[in-house]
Amino acid sequence: MRTLGVAVAVALLGLAGLAAEKFIVGSDIAWPPFEWVSAKGNYLGFDLDVMRMIAVLEGYEIEIQDIAFDSIIPAVIAGKIDIGASGFTITAERAQVVDFSSPYWVSDQTVLVRADSGLNIITALLPGRKVGAQRGTTGAFWVEDNLIAQGVAVQLILYETYPEAIMDLLAGRIDAVIQDQAPSEQAVRQYPGKLLIAGIIKTYEEFGFLVAKGDPKGILPRIERGMKKLRETGAWDNLVAAYFGNPLDVIEAAWEACIPILTVERDPIRYAACLAAKVQELSQK
Amino acid sequence: MSLEHWLKVWASLPVLLQGLSVNLALLGGLLSLGFFLGLVFAVLEVYGPKPLRLCAALYSWVFRSIPEILLLLLMWFGPAQFGVRIAPFTAAVLALGLRSSAYQAQIFRGALQAVPAGQMLAARALGLSKFQAVRHVLLPQALRLSLAGWGNEFAVVLKDTTLAYAVGVVEVMRQARYLGSREMPLTLPAYITVALLFLVLTYAGLFALGALEKRLRIPGLEARR
Amino acid sequence: MLLRVEDLHKRYGKEEVLRGVSFSLEKGETKVIIGPSGTGKSTLLRCINRLTEPDRGRVFLEDVEITSPRVNINKIRAQIGFVFQDFNLFTHLTALDNVRLGLMRVKGLSKKEATERAMRELARVGLADKAKAYPAELSGGQQQRVSIARALAMDPKLILFDEPTSALDPELIGEVLSVMVELAQSGMTMLVVTHEMGFARSVADEIIFMEKGVIVEQGPPEQLFKSPKHPRTVEFLRRITELYGGEK
């Protein structure tokens, strides 16, 4: 149980306080750089580290639970998990059934195509084109709402995870993949010369952490307070600098070097600084 | 799918095997649960009093009708409505085990009904109670007859354990997806590796069941069939 | 009186299989029931140990009313041996285990005691050397002899035989009949449904002729075979002689 063991060990941050409160954080841990599983089996990612840092600042424990993306909101509603942290775009529909934190990230959608396809953002989305997206994501909703519902009859193909969409794109079975910007950039990096971001759709999507409607456990104010502290201390910017635009193995190496500062010394601010410095140092090599 | 990607996946084999061990634990749990409940419901359906017979038939019908992915989600979300948090692993064993018990009940029911009626009569004529007759005469014969069908059920539920990821059990399929989401070019090699692992597992399981069937074979009976 | 049957009735749907059958059996007696097929003979036997529940009528085994709902029928059945037409040996058990099962599970004998008793009974039917054989490895005649040993082992007060040789090839009938003859001579109380007139003639203390759910005529073999009173009996004996060629 290596993966789980490490994940639980890392997640159980509030060991100091006996029988401290514990919240279960649900995340679909297959979406770098927001959340992914490292080569060594650790749960990494921007969302997860923010959750861990806030937990230390606010004095509660978290346990990270990996769940399929479209199960997270039902699980929060059902009370199976307490917090959803998985790059959720704040939408009106979702806000009807769960409560969101204030936005912590803004993303646009990108249109990914094969480099040799010659497609651009217009030609990639013409009627009849096959467009892939991950089930339950705003990318999929965007295609439904802004193309199909408007009479642009593209064929929307849904996937359980976005790497499967990318594989189909590379295999030529679909023409484009609609996906958030950061993961798209990761994909382009991993398939050098094969994939191309044909264009950015300025959706200006705001990401939020989510909890059950009415926030019965009073988690949101603590998340807000934690995010505020992280921003004021510069830890937030350090985390962003570390996680975005860098190769995953560099981030993983830096994370392993710095994570004791968070888990053992329980100092989120210094941890973020360490992570940013280490990533920069390693990527310059 | 370059060699480099394959090598990376093979380097991650321990992670995949660790995931596979979760599948095997799930399999062990769900097969045991399914075997025990399946046996009880089969005996009830064949020999029980009428109300119980109907209950058993209803049970079989319900758990064979609901898609397993839905059963998993219901088992996971359902109890939370009443403030009970079942761990993903437990929820998966329960959901898949209950479903398997319904199928196993049908296998055992068919086998019990295939045992000639004279066996029950002879047992009762000796003074064995109905329960003793089922326990000592009917079941030993029915279970032998069940082995082929049971092997089929084994092969099916072995693969079903990969559905447990839907409720957050980190099993081999999920581990493969981790590999793919971290480094997309690994996706296909990882999936193929998992497929190979399942080929091996299914073969090993069916081989073991075949050996068991041979060991339990009743001398003289096959020649007559 | 060991067995007393009083006014047994049994109906399957519209068909009335038993229409008031009464007779009795003394200890050590052998009675043979003859009659056309489908005339209720097997049903009668099964009603006696309640493998089939009679609709009406009573059965007594040494003053214990078997048909009473308060009786522990499993205890009663353990005292009444039953030998089936198609043997019904437990196919998954060896000859030895077939004989031992009732001894251990019903009589509560230890494995050692059960084995000794079972081997004795197998020897009695001449099959000690087949103890480890499974039913499917035995001939029909051998299977039926094992099933007789299985019944005997329980030390029954009475054994019911339901056409014990009807499923056998002609050359195998003899070995089973000779075991039954020996049994009758050793003083076992037996009620036998059979078409073997030779056996009936030489072993039975009394013959019961049944037809259409009632006893038409009963009496000692010489009387019933030589000078039957009832025309139905005459007719049946004439036909059975044609079929089986008289004496055997």
- CATH code where residue B115 lies: 1.10.3720.10
Closest CA–CA distance from residue C148 to any residue of chain B (Å): 12
Report the alpha-carbon distance of residue C179 to residue C247 in Å, rounded.
19
> What is the amino acid identity at position B53?
R
Kindly state whether residues A121 and A97 are assigned to the same domain. no
Residue B224 resides in a domain: no
Decide: helix, strand or coil at residue C121: helix
Interchain CB distance below 8 Å, B185 and A191: yes
Number of domains in chain A: 2
My answer on whether omega of the bond before B51 falls inside 30° of 0, hence cis, is no
Interchain CB distance below 8 Å, B219 and C136: yes
Q: Which two tokens stand for residue A208?
A: 């939020």
Report the alpha-carbon distance of residue C102 to residue C111 in Å, rounded.
11
Kindly state whether residues A170 and A144 are assigned to the same domain. yes
Kindly state whether residues A97 and A214 are assigned to the same domain. yes
Vertex C49: Cα angle to C46 and C50 (nearest 5): 70
Report the alpha-carbon distance of residue C17 to residue C212 in Å, rounded.
7
Count contacts between A and B (CB, < 8 Å): 87
Identify all chain B residues contacting C102, using CB atoms and an 8 Å cutoff.
126-128
Q: What is the pLDDT of residue B82?
A: 81
Q: To 10 degrees, the CA torsion angle through B135, B141, B144, B146? A: -80
Number of domains in chain B: 1
Kindly state whether residues A39 and A65 are assigned to the same domain. yes
Closest CA–CA distance from residue C103 to any residue of chain B (Å): 9
Report the alpha-carbon distance of residue B12 to residue B176 in Å, rounded.
9
Closest CA–CA distance from residue B18 to any residue of chain A (Å): 7
Identify all chain A residues contacting B185, using CB atoms and an 8 Å cutoff.
190-191
pLDDT (mean) for A67-71 = 88
Q: What is the pLDDT of residue C221?
A: 93
Report the alpha-carbon distance of residue C92 to residue B219 in Å, rounded.
9
Q: What is the pLDDT of residue A4?
A: 46
Q: Which two tokens stand for residue A97?
A: 């059934």
Confidence band (pLDDT; 50, 70, 90) for A3? very low
Residue B225 resides in a domain: no
Confidence band (pLDDT; 50, 70, 90) for A14? very low
Domain residues for A262? Answer: 2-104+208-284
Does the pLDDT of residue B223 top 70, yes or no? no
Confidence band (pLDDT; 50, 70, 90) for B222? low
Kindly state whether residues A197 and A221 are assigned to the same domain. no
- Nearest-by-CA chain B residue for A65: B168
Per-residue pLDDT tens, chain C, 248 aa: give them: 899 999 999 999 889 999 999 999 999 999 999 999 888 999 999 999 999 999 999 999 998 999 999 999 999 999 999 999 999 999 999 999 999 999 999 999 999 999 999 999 999 999 999 999 999 999 999 999 999 999 999 999 999 999 999 999 999 999 999 999 999 999 999 999 999 999 999 999 999 999 999 999 999 999 999 999 999 999 998 888 777 655 44
- Nearest-by-CA chain B residue for C85: B118
Kindly state whether residues A123 and A200 are assigned to the same domain. yes
- Buried-state track C8-46, b at ≥16 Cβ within 10 A, e below 16: bbbeeeeebbbeebebebeeebbbbbbbbeebbbbbbbb
Decide: helix, strand or coil at residue C14: coil
Strands C206-211 and C214-219: antiparallel
Say if CB A84 and CB A210 are below 8 A apart: yes
Decide: helix, strand or coil at residue A67: coil
Domain residues for B46? Answer: 3-216
Q: What is the pLDDT of residue B141?
A: 94
pLDDT (mean) for B134-152 = 93
The torsion angles phi and psi of C210, rounded to 5 degrees, stand at: -115, 145
Interchain CB distance below 8 Å, A39 and B181: no
Crossing angle of helices B187-216 and B139-160, in 10° steps, is 180
Residue of C77, C105, C150 with shortest CB distance to B136: C105
Identify all chain B residues contacting A32, using CB atoms and an 8 Å cutoff.
181-182
Give C52's contacts (C-beta < 8 A, 6+ positions apart): C10, C43, C46
Which candidate, C215, C216, C184, C217, places its Cα nearest to that of C200? C184
B contact residues 114-143, partner C, Cβ 8 Å cutoff: 116, 118-119, 121-129, 132, 136-137, 140-141
Kindly state whether residues A214 and A140 are assigned to the same domain. no
Q: Tell me the per-residue pLDDT of A212-255, one tens digit each, with 9 for 90 and over.
A: 999 999 999 999 999 999 999 999 999 999 999 899 999 999 99
Kindly state whether residues A196 and A220 are assigned to the same domain. no
Residue of B22, B168, B187 with shortest CB distance to A163: B187
Kindly state whether residues A114 and A93 are assigned to the same domain. no
> Does residue C161 belong to the interface with chain B, where contact is any CB pair within 8 Å?
no
Q: What is the pLDDT of residue A285?
A: 76
pLDDT (mean) for B88-112 = 95
- Nearest-by-CA chain B residue for A69: B166
Q: What is the pLDDT of residue B225?
A: 39
Task: Count CB atoms within 10 A of the CB of residue B24.
Answer: 16
Q: To 10 degrees, the CA torsion angle through A214, A219, A220, A221? A: 120
Identify all chain A residues contacting B81, using CB atoms and an 8 Å cutoff.
78-79
> Does residue B180 belong to the interface with chain A, where contact is any CB pair within 8 Å?
yes
Q: Which of B119, B121, B126 to mutate to test the interface with C (most CBs of C within 10 A)?
A: B126
pLDDT (mean) for B29-39 = 96
Residue of B83, B88, B188 with shortest CB distance to A167: B188
Interchain CB distance below 8 Å, B182 and A36: yes
What CATH number has the domain bearing residue A257?
3.40.190.10
Residue of B118, B140, B218 with shortest CB distance to C134: B218
Kindly state whether residues A69 and A28 are assigned to the same domain. yes
Helix and strand totals (H; E) in chain C:
9, 10
Report the alpha-carbon distance of residue B204 to residue B5 in Å, rounded.
28
Identify all chain A residues contacting B167, using CB atoms and an 8 Å cutoff.
67, 71
Residue of C77, C133, C135 with shortest CB distance to B125: C77
> Does residue C167 belong to the interface with chain B, where contact is any CB pair within 8 Å?
no
Q: What is the pLDDT of residue B218?
A: 87
Residue B221 resides in a domain: no
Chains in touch with C (3+ beta-carbon pairs under 8 Å) read: B
Does the pLDDT of residue B166 top 90, yes or no? no
Percent with pLDDT over 70 in chain A: 93
**What would you report as the CA-atom Rg of chain A, rounded to the nearest whole angstrom?**
19
Say if CB C68 and CB C53 are below 8 A apart: no
Residue B222 resides in a domain: no
Does the pLDDT of residue A1 top 80, yes or no? no
* Mean pLDDT estimate for chain A: 90
Query: What does the longest C-alpha to C-alpha distance in chain B come to?
Result: 72
Q: What is the pLDDT of residue C242?
A: 78
Interchain CB distance below 8 Å, B167 and A190: no
Confidence band (pLDDT; 50, 70, 90) for B24? very high
Kindly state whether residues A36 and A164 are assigned to the same domain. no
Contact: chain A with chain C (3+ CB pairs below 8 Å): no
Report the alpha-carbon distance of residue B109 to residue B111 in Å, rounded.
5
- pTM of the predicted model as reported, rounded to 2 decimal places: 0.81
Identify all chain B residues contacting A31, using CB atoms and an 8 Å cutoff.
181
Does the pLDDT of residue A9 top 50, yes or no? no
Kindly state whether residues A32 and A165 are assigned to the same domain. no
The torsion angles phi and psi of C4, rounded to 5 degrees, stand at: -130, 125
> Does residue C40 belong to the interface with chain B, where contact is any CB pair within 8 Å?
no
Q: What's the DSSP call for residue A266? A: -
Interchain CB distance below 8 Å, A30 and B187: no
Identify all chain C residues contacting B221, using CB atoms and an 8 Å cutoff.
91, 134, 136
Which domain-ending residue is among A184, A205, A226?
A: A205
Q: Tell me the per-residue pLDDT of A108-158, one tens digit each, with 9 for 90 and over.
A: 999 999 999 999 999 999 999 999 999 988 899 999 999 999 999 999 999
Q: Which of C61, C87, C88 to mutate to test the interface with B (most CBs of B within 10 A)?
A: C88
How far are the Cα atoms of A98, A100, A108, A138, A141 from residue A93, in angstroms, in the given order? Answer: 9, 12, 19, 11, 11
Identify all chain C residues contacting B125, using CB atoms and an 8 Å cutoff.
49, 51, 77, 80, 82, 84
Report the alpha-carbon distance of residue A179 to residue A163 in Å, rounded.
11
* Mean pLDDT estimate for chain C: 93
